């Protein structure tokens, strides 16, 4: 098992975004199956984690992003798993819309291109912080149960 709870939550938010942004019936059916599989995987992962079936060191896989902090302000990620999950969903929505600009990058005014690229980078850093925080919270919860 190479995925963590945070990674699974991230995948689920992306599937939900894809569902929101399509009307194609075949694609919606496929996405509904993916959503169901991810929800089952999340439930199973949590059950196994609480039961002690997953070693504590396998509950997280920190992104360990290395970046220049000066000039790259990333939103704080704090709160319960539910709050961080909501922040992850929000950042993925913002990332989705910023990424849409890149698909037609030639229409972005030259003076705005740097800002688009910068925003993508900062949003990805925030996304990774959310994933890491969900994992950290789960590890903290499991340790406190022991």
| pLDDT, tens only, 42-77 | 999 999 999 999 999 999 987 766 666 677 778 888
The three-state secondary structure class of 61 is: coil
Whole-number pLDDT of residue 76: 82
DSSP 58: G
**pLDDT value at 24 more than 90:** yes
How crowded is the C-beta side of 128, counted as CA atoms within 13 Å? 14
* Contacts with 4 (C-beta within 8 Å, 6 or more apart), sequence order: 59, 60, 61, 131, 134, 135, 138
Neighbours of 56 (CB within 10 A): 13
Rounded mean pLDDT, 114-125: 92
Whole-number pLDDT of residue 146: 74
Between the CA of residue 109 and those of 96, 105, 123, what are the distances in Å? 19, 9, 21
Whole-number pLDDT of residue 105: 93
Whole-number pLDDT of residue 66: 67
Rounded mean pLDDT, 32-45: 97
Number of domains in the chain: 1
- The per-residue pLDDT of the chain, averaged, comes to 92
Domain region containing 117: 5-145
**pLDDT value at 80 more than 70:** yes
**pLDDT value at 3 more than 60:** yes
User: CA-CA distance, 88 to 75, in Å (whole number)?
Assistant: 11
Among the residues of 1-109, which ranges form H helices? 5-20, 25-51, 81-103
Q: For a pLDDT cut of 70, what percent of the chain falls above it?
A: 94
Handedness of CA 50, 55, 56, 59 (dihedral sign): negative
Asked if residues 33 and 126 have their Cβ atoms less than 8 Å apart, the reply is: no
Rounded mean pLDDT, 16-33: 97
The CA-based angle 102-130-59, given to 5 degrees, is: 125
Whole-number pLDDT of residue 65: 64
């Amino acid at each position: 098992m190479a995925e963590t709870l945070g990674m699974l939550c991230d995948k689920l938010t992306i599937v939900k975004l894809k569902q929101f942004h399509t009307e194609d019936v075949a694609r919606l059916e496929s996405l509904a199956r993916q959503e169901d599989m991810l929800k089952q995987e999340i439930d199973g992962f949590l059950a196994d984690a609480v039961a002690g079936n997953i070693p504590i060191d396998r509950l997280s896989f920190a992104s360990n992003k290395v970046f220049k902090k000066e000039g790259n302000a990333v939103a704080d990620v704090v709160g319960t798993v539910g709050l961080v999950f909501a922040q992850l969903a929000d950042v993925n929505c913002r990332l989705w819309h910023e990424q849409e600009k890149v698909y037609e990058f030639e229409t972005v005014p030259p003076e705005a291109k740097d800002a688009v690229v910068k925003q993508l980078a900062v949003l990805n850093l925030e996304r990774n912080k959310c994933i890491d925080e969900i994992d950290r919270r789960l590890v903290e919860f499991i340790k406190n149960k022991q």
